């Protein structure tokens, strides 16, 4: 069963600034501040004992360029705050995938389709932590991989969410949600 995405703040103002400082500036202190609010939300989600916390795996080239895997740092802080294990379950398949920045939902889905594999799971509840919920494409693709690997439940928690009007605009640019693989 896949649950919806929970976001703590709107992607604006101070929360947006903290996400950008973490993501592009490598400021670990920003992760600590964001995680504090995310931990409260995670506790309210009723995840139960034995939840596994994971993150979206960043491409190695981008991780080397930035010097930090901001998603992992954020997920580790959330895991620590809720007393859960952080496990890097998602692995990127070989091959270059372009950044998601500036892409609409359809292009984001195409960009990430079959990009991830996952370590085998046995019915566990997984909390997927990410920095920003924009169109939902990354959460959708990662949830598919986690469920295919045997997760019993996947919950998504992001620090911020792009305002609903902007998400709908991005989705309409792409023609709405996509439930099957992109066509060539």
Chunked into runs of 10 residues, the chain (184 residues) has average pLDDT values of 82 95 91 96 92 88 80 96 96 63 61 76 96 86 92 96 61 41 36
- Using DSSP, state whether 101 is helix, strand or coil: coil
**pLDDT score at 181:** 36
Q: For strands 153-161 and 125-133, give the pairing.
A: parallel
**pLDDT score at 169:** 46
**pLDDT score at 180:** 36
CA nearest neighbour of 138 among 110, 166, 168? 110
Please report, in angstroms and rounded to a whole number, the separation of the first and last CA atoms in the chain: 30
Q: Is the pTM of this model over 0.85?
A: no
Structure-block tokens of residue 4: 């919806």
**pLDDT score at 55:** 95
């Amino acid at each position: 069963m896949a649950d919806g995405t929970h976001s703590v703040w709107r992607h604006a103002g101070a929360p947006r600034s903290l996400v950008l400082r973490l993501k592009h500036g490598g400021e670990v202190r920003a992760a600590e501040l964001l995680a504090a609010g995310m931990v409260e939300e995670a506790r309210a989600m009723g995840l139960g004992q034995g939840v596994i916390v994971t993150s979206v795996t960043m491409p190695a080239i981008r991780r080397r360029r930035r010097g930090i895997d901001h998603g992992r740092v954020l997920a580790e802080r959330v895991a620590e705050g809720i007393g859960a294990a952080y496990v890097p379950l998602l692995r990127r398949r070989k091959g270059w995938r372009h950044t998601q920045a500036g892409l609409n939902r359809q292009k984001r889905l195409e960009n990430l389709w079959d990009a991830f594999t996952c370590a085998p799971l046995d019915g566990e509840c997984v909390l997927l932590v990410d920095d920003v919920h924009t169109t939902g494409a990354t959460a959708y693709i990662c949830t598919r991989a986690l469920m295919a690997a045997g997760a019993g439940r996947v919950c998504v928690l992001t620090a911020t969410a792009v305002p609903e009007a902007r998400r709908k605009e991005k989705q309409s640019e792409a023609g709405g949600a996509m439930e099957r693989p992109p066509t060539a």
